[in-house]
Structure 1
Amino acid sequence: MEQIAIIIPAYKPDKKCLDTVEKIIAAGFRQIIVVDDGNSEEFASTFTSLESHKEVTLLNHSVNRGKGRALKTAFEYILKNRPSCEAVITADADGQHLVTDILKVSEQMFKTPEKVVLGTRDFSQKNIPFRSRFGNRFTRLLFLLSTGTVLTDTQTGLRGIPVRYLPQLLKVIGERFEFEMNVLAALRENNIEVTEVSIETVYIDDNKSSHFNPLRDSYHIYKVFIFYGLSGVASFALDIGLYWLFIQLLRDPAPDLFIIFATVAARILSSLFNFYINRNKVFKQGSNKSLVRYFILAAFIMLASAGSVHFLYAEWLGRGEVILKVIVDTILFILGFVVQRAWVFRKE
């Protein structure tokens, strides 16, 4: 336990934070880093009480900078000042992470010292607030689509991290709640293994103490998906518009192949637009291989779209080619996100 530091970002903490820290000390932990994330004088007495414990180191932000920045501040402090520390465990200040669960995470870290340990909650219980249940399921799905990794709880704040990985995690973008989601993606990108331990699911007063802003913080967490969707919608509209135009131009000159010709022409033009937006506005990364990879993917999706629509139109329907294309391309749109995030715009 002396080799593990407990990190607690604290914004507007109440007595539950002090109780949690005292229980952590009683459990035998000797390195506790509390980050005062720009709290007002109203909370000064709480931090004075925390700092009175010799096991507690208090770090301060002059203004509120967000949970992600608070974690980074603690990571930087540990790398510079605690050379004997081998691992950190991040926990929340609102009393929803029990000391027994912190101990479970620490025990698992000793069993698997090369892995990041996530304390995962059971969201199937009836007492889980709807926004938490929905948010967890939605982010699990998006995380699975974007990384191919199945995790039980993508929003858990109880995490055990070997210190050797902190320099890599300090490079992860994000200053607020989105940092935690981005960390999980970074673990995958850096081939860092993850293991999970089951923890108690605790919600106090329907989670009213949470400082998660549903609009602002959800935007930051999901913005890559939001931008990808907007880019896709714009490109999709352009593609459908061009497809309709080419259908009108080619239906009579090429009655047997007009669907394939229209699909190919529309997809080439719309894909050029989509590549530029995704590379520069959505994923904001890539390599010198991204263009080639993008058009390999675009060619595959184009052929899959044209072939599927042509086959279904000729064999089954004989009408409604535009509606049919919308259905087929919606499925291919989801596939495109997965491949673009994981392969096309991957950093080398």
Structure 2
Amino acid sequence: MGTPATERATTGEVSSVFAVADRIRTAVESVIEGKNETVTIALSTLLAGGHLLIEDIPGVGKTMLAKALGRAVDCTVRRIQFTPDLLPSDITGVNVFHQGTRQFEFKAGPVFGNIVVGDEINRAAPKTQAALLECMEEGQVSIDGQTWPLEPPFMVVATQNPVDMEGTYPLPEAQRDRFMARVSVGYPDPQAELEMIDTHSAATPLDDIRPATGLSELRRMMAAVRSVHLSPGVRRYAIDLVSATRTSSALRLGASPRATLHLVRASRAYAALDGRDYVIPDDMQALAGPVLAHRLLPSPEAQVERRPPEQVVADITARLPIPS
């Protein structure tokens, strides 16, 4: 997980990442008012090469956030509306027999994009949800014995309603584990909602968003983020955080090794967005909830006590010693 000192990102590279990311942030926040931390985590996930899950009640701007992130970057954006009758081939694509050539021709599905917006992902059946497993982890699609690579960067930004909403299917553990972070938009504060009346009532502000960066520059930013310094002490702190979820009596399923990698990658991006070329424990503390909580399953006792995984993670970060 560590990066050799010779490959450490320079201050100039991180400053460039910070400047461009600030333009992306400004574009997204022109649509999503008063949600600075949510936007920062979304940007961190993008720069870290991960996938983002946005979970909240209907009408608070989940899809708007996903669309704004896609429009702020000049890349290929595809949208999938998940419904109960959606088929796996509607996502990945299908081989169609061509009468003229007497051969099968591959028709790519909407998953072939740089940013794929999956709206209300938990309204599709589990079989259809599983069509994204290979795409999200391996960056490829396998159909009829052939493998089709997805152009990097590839990011799934999925929205979902809480699982107790009518007509929803809970995401399986394997799929939740592939999302680097989960965020909630939440209700806006009164001032932000007042401003929203002026900006959203006449027309959608999405039409005013102009790309803040291109695909080649985004790739350079992601390469610089991967080289942000991670000291041995902070690296050990990441291991301790994840290990504590596996031994907690309040959890019956702890975080996976993939969660450790996601926490490190997201922390590097989070540090770069703060203008630093090194990670500090505060970065991991800020990201522990969004990166770890959605992967955890509470124990029966924690469910009776109404202790959600987010609270368990917060308790772990509060009591875990911080490295010097």
Shorter-chain TM range is under 0.3
TM-score by length of 1: 0.22
* Bigger helix share: 1
Q: Could you say which structure has the larger radius of gyration? A: 1
